[in-house]
Structures are given as C-alpha cells and as structure tokens.
Amino acid sequence: MGSISSLSRAVSALLTSQSALNTTAHNITNANTRGYVRQQVIMSDSRYLTIGTSRNSGMQVGLGTDVQVIRQVRDQFLDSAFREENSRLGFYGSKSSAIEEVENILGEIEGESFSKILNNLWESMSELVKSPEGLETRGTFIQNATIFIEKSNLIMGQLQDYQKNLNNEVMNNVKRINEIGNEIQSLNEIIAKNEVHGAKANDYRDQRNLLIDELSTMVDISYREDVNNNLIVSIENVPFVTVGNVNELDLTYAEDKSLLVDPYWPHLSDLSTDPPQYHKLYNFDVPTTTAANNDKGSLKGLLLARGSRTANYTDLNDAGEFTKDIKPSEIMTVQAQFDNLIHGIVTMINDTVAPPGSTDGPYGLNGEQGIEIFSRLYVDRSVAEDENNEYSLYSAGNLKMNEEVVLDYNKICLSREEGVDGDSSVVEELLAKWKAPFSNIDPTLNGELNYVDYYNSFVSNVGTMGSSINNQVSNQLLLTVQIDNQRSQLMGVSSDEELSNMMKYQHAYNAATRVVNVVDEMIERVVNQTGVVGR
C-alpha cells in the first residue's frame, strides 16, 4: 500500500511538471502575439493524510502536489490606469488631427497662401486708385477679386469636405464600438462555459482584454467582472455589455437641416413622440475639460472637432451662442471666423460700389449704377440677407463674380459723378475701409480689427489651438507609454525567463520520472520475487 501511495505522489509531481512545461512552451510560442499575457502555473500541496498521532502533533503524510491555477500575470490597477489615459489620448488625438488638417487647408492652397491672395487684392486696389478709369488696372482688380472668391470658396469647400470625413469617422467608430460589444459578449459566453469548473480560459481573456483596450481608445468606459466571469461594460455610465445582451448605439441627425450624425442609445430613447426624444451618448451642455474628467474617447473628440453643422459669419453675432455652440468645435470655429472675414470684404466692396437699394451710388464708365462686384450663386442683388436662408448670405461657398463686370470692366462703378472718368474717391474709400476696424475673431473680445489684422489674428488663433492640443497630446502620449511599458514589463513574455523556467520544470519532470521508475522497480521485485524460496 505504501509503494502504491509513493507512486501516486510521484505521478502527481510528474503531471504538475508537465503542466508547467506546457504553459512555459505556450508562453514562448506566443511571445510576439499581440495582446498575449504571460501565464504562470501556481502549484500547491495536495491534502495530507493523518496516519497516527505523536505526543506533540499528528503524524501526516502528503499526497503529492497539484496545479492550483494557471493564472495570467497582469495588474488590474495598471490596466485601469492605462485605459483611462489611453481614452484621454484618443480624445486629444482626434482634435489634434482635425486642427492639423485645418492648418494644411489654410496654409498652402495650390502653392499660394491665402494671405498672399489678400495682399494681391489690396495691391490691385492700390494700383486702381492711380488710374480708376484704366481698363488694365480694372482688369487686374477683377482678376485678383476672382482669385479671392475662388480660393475663399475652395477653402470653405475643403473645410466642409473634411467635416464630412470626420462624420464618416464618427459612423465608423460607432460601428466598431457595436462590433466590440458583440465580440465581448461572445467571449463572455465562451469564458463562462470554459471556466465553469474552476479552470482559466486565459487565451480568451487575452482577447477580451485586448478589445477593452481598443474600446477605451474610442469612449470612456467602466467595467467589472461578475461572479460568473462575465465582463460587464458601461459607456459614459450607461450599461453597454450586460449579461447576455448588448445595448448597441445608433445614429441620428445632429440637428435639424444637418447631414451630420450623433450617436444615441435606442433603448433609452422614445421614438414614438413627435418630435422623437433621443437619448444621445454625449451631453455637450457640460463643458469638456480635464478638471471635469470628461475629456475621454476619440469618438467624443471627433464629435467636438467636427461640430453639428456648417458654421458661417452669422454665428459670431451672439457671443453667448458662439461660446456655447461654436467655440468647442475646431472646424465650426474656423468656418465662422473665416467666413466672417470673407463676408466683411465682399459686402464692404459691394456696398461701396453698389449701395443696396440706393439710386445715388457710383457710376460705371458706361453710366450704369448699382452693379455689384460679387454675387451670390442663387439669388440676385435685390434679395436681402436672411440668416435663416443660407442661400441669401454673402458667405464663402455661396459666392461668385458678377458676370457683368467680368465681361465688361466699364461696368465697375467707381465714379461719384456720371461721366467723370478720373474720379478716385470711391477707390480711396475702399482703401480706407480696408484699413478700418470691422470685427474681431471672437465676439467675447473687446475691440475690432481691420481685415489684415483680423486674418493674422485668425491664423494665430488656429496655430495657438494646434499648439495647445499638440502639447496635450505629447504629454498624454508620454504618460500612456510609461504606463504601457510598466504593463509590458509585467505581462510580457521574457524568452530568457521562460527558458530558465523550462529548464527548472524539465529537471522537476525528470526527478519525478526517476521516482516513478524506482517505485516501479520496487513493486516489480515484490511481485515477482517474494515467496520464491521453498517453491
């Protein structure tokens, strides 16, 4: 009976060493597998058998060794810290990409910066004042005005196109978030099934943790594991992955008459009302700041950078609305401020050479009056601007040159008196208004700037936004990488360490094998040779 017990203990050591060798080999095999966390065999003594008592203590015999658990070597606190900082990095990374694209759009357009275009327009007016009746100087002015309008429309068009690209990224993010939710739910079921008897489905857990890392980049998440090993995930404190269910996000229009979309929770919304009541993922009435700890997730960064619609100069009319609705969005801020400059220059020139509704304006060389330089695409001069009708606005993207003056320079109204060809007073008025204060880039700021100073301040503001966000990205990236390096040092597979473990477990396996061989020989001798004498 003692020999059989010894054999059982030796076999337990053999099996435990074999499990450790298999785990070590698994670690080495997956050393370069993305998201893999090294595994470790935790061994423990089997129960003890009491065979008698002595004066001081019980007499016990151990029954061998067991594998208590094959665990993942990871730190939940480092995981939590990494995912929080990674989420914040995703937020500022999205905004940084947006402002970088804006800088590219404003910086160089087909080799010529917009500041050069403004300067050319100014210089053509300066030359025009010397010879207001000259067809050559008039032609140069119209050519530079044409370039000004084309580039203005182009810049606004590129801003709108990029806004649409950001909108597509929003839709792709929401789609991927829903996919991750369903993948986590599937893994929950697999893990719960495989761990029902106390084993650890570590490779499936690696996949699930990798999905959580990815999800943390896009949205602010919280999570926990229930008693049945299901991972319960919430997004912005709203349950997302629950036991046996995923509350998927859907999309609705950001606001009326906008083609941009916002994510919302269908299960918390009431679509039967008129209008439908959408429970949106984000409440932007609450300012997004680091102090409020709500500056997290690339999806939120995309939505803020993109804005809810195309902005224009009318959005600078109300300081409160600008601060609340426009300023948080990099794209909408740039659209409103840039359009304000274009609207200011266009209406200043138009109102000087062709005052609306006036019969006492300047004359062209042909004696005509009221002929504007810049026109709108779909309405004529008689239609007044109405902020509720975007097609009525002298707004970038809605502008063109008046074909009358393009085809006939004589129709440019620059003379105060009919038949007086050399009158330069109208052009002098244009130059004076160009240098005069007209607006500020932010309605909450005091004072007004002229057109050149306005554009310089506008470009400087864009650069400041970019610099500020890039600094936040750099700091956040440094912090995230530091935490991730700590995770990697703990969770990553070290080939040298694993080879050392393999040698250790191989020696243990060999030692257990020798014990089995010795016990086997003992049993064989007892069975085959006992009682031979006397036969």
Other CB atoms within a 10 A radius of the CB of residue 55 amount to 4
Residue 47's φ and ψ, nearest 5 degrees, are: -65, 160
Assigned token pair, 36: 């893999």
> What pLDDT score was predicted for residue 50?
61
Better pLDDT: 527 or 448: 448
pLDDT digits (tens, 9 = 90+) for 131-166: 999 999 999 999 999 999 999 999 999 999 999 999
Q: Is the pLDDT of residue 109 over 50?
A: no
Return d(Cα 123, Cα 144) in angstroms, integer: 9
| Range of lowest pLDDT (236-250, 402-416, 504-518) | 504-518
- What digits encode the pLDDT tens for the residues 185-236? 999 999 998 887 767 788 999 999 999 999 999 999 999 999 888 999 999 9
- Given a contact cutoff of 8 angstroms between Cβ atoms, the answer to whether 303 and 282 are in contact is yes
Supply the pLDDT for residue 201. Answer: 87
Question: What is the amino acid identity at position 228?
Answer: N
Q: Choose between 352 and 74: higher pLDDT.
A: 352
Residue 422: pLDDT above 50?
A: yes
Judge whether 162 and 219 are in contact, CB under 8 Å: no
44 pLDDT more than 80: no
24 pLDDT higher than 60: yes
Taking residues 415-433, what's their average pLDDT? 88
**Per-residue confidence (pLDDT) for residue 404, from 0 to 100:** 94
Around Cβ 434, how many Cβ atoms within 10 Å?
19
pLDDT for position 49: 62
Asked if 413 and 426 touch (Cβ cutoff 8 Å), the reply is yes
Phi, psi angles (nearest 5°) of residue 59? -95, 110
Question: Is the per-residue pLDDT at 533 higher than 60?
Answer: no
- DSSP secondary structure letter of residue 70: E
The per-residue pLDDT for 432 is: 95
Angle at 193 between CA 192 and CA 199, to 5 degrees: 80
Total Cβ atoms within 10 A of residue 479: 16
Among the listed residues 287, 286, 258, 279, the one whose alpha carbon sits nearest the alpha carbon of residue 163: 258
Residues forming beta bridges with residue 48, ordered by sequence position: 62
Helices (H), 195-249: 202-218
Which ranges in 253-374 belong to alpha helices (H)?
A: 298-306, 319-321, 330-353
Structural contact between residues 218 and 298, judged by C-beta atoms closer than 8 angstroms: yes
Q: Report which of residues 112 and 206 the model is more confident about.
A: 206
Residue 264 and residue 267: Cα distance in Å, rounded? 9
Please give the average per-residue pLDDT across 514-532, as a whole number.
75
Cα 468 from chain centroid? Answer: 17
**pLDDT bucket at 500, cuts 50 / 70 / 90:** confident
In whole angstroms, what separates CA 15 from the centre of its chain? 50
DSSP state of 75: -
Distance CA 296, CA 290 (A): 9
> Distance (Å, rounded) from C-alpha 220 to C-alpha 218?
7
Quick one: pLDDT at residue 55? 65
pLDDT tier at 1 (50, 70, 90 boundaries)?
very low
Q: Is the pLDDT of residue 369 over 50?
A: yes
Over its C-alpha atoms, the chain yields an Rg (Å, rounded) of 38
Q: Would you call 234 helix, strand, or coil by DSSP? A: strand
Q: Length of the chain in residues, anyone?
A: 535
Please state the φ and ψ torsions of residue 49, each to the nearest 5 degrees.
-110, 125
Question: Is beta strand 231-235 parallel, antiparallel or unpaired with respect to 238-242?
Answer: antiparallel
pLDDT-derived band at 472 (thresholds 50, 70, 90) equals: very high
State how far the Cα of 32 lies from the Cα of 521, in Å rounded to an integer: 45
Tell me what pLDDT residue 267 has: 95
Residues 26-38 pLDDT 10s: 878 888 888 888 8
Q: How far is CA 130 from the centre of its chain?
A: 54
Poorest-pLDDT segment among 35-49, 73-87, 322-336: 35-49
3-class SS of residue 109 = strand
pLDDT at 492 over 90: no
Single pTM value for the model: 0.87
Q: What integer pLDDT is reported at residue 382 of this predicted model?
A: 87
Distance (Å) of CA 161 to CA 110, 155, 343: 17, 10, 20
Whole-number average pLDDT of the chain: 88
Is residue 13 scored above 90 in pLDDT?
A: no
Ranges of H-type helices in 38-113: 76-107
Distance between CA 74 and CA 191 in Å, rounded? 18
pLDDT for position 47: 65
Spacing of C-alpha 496 from chain mean position: 38
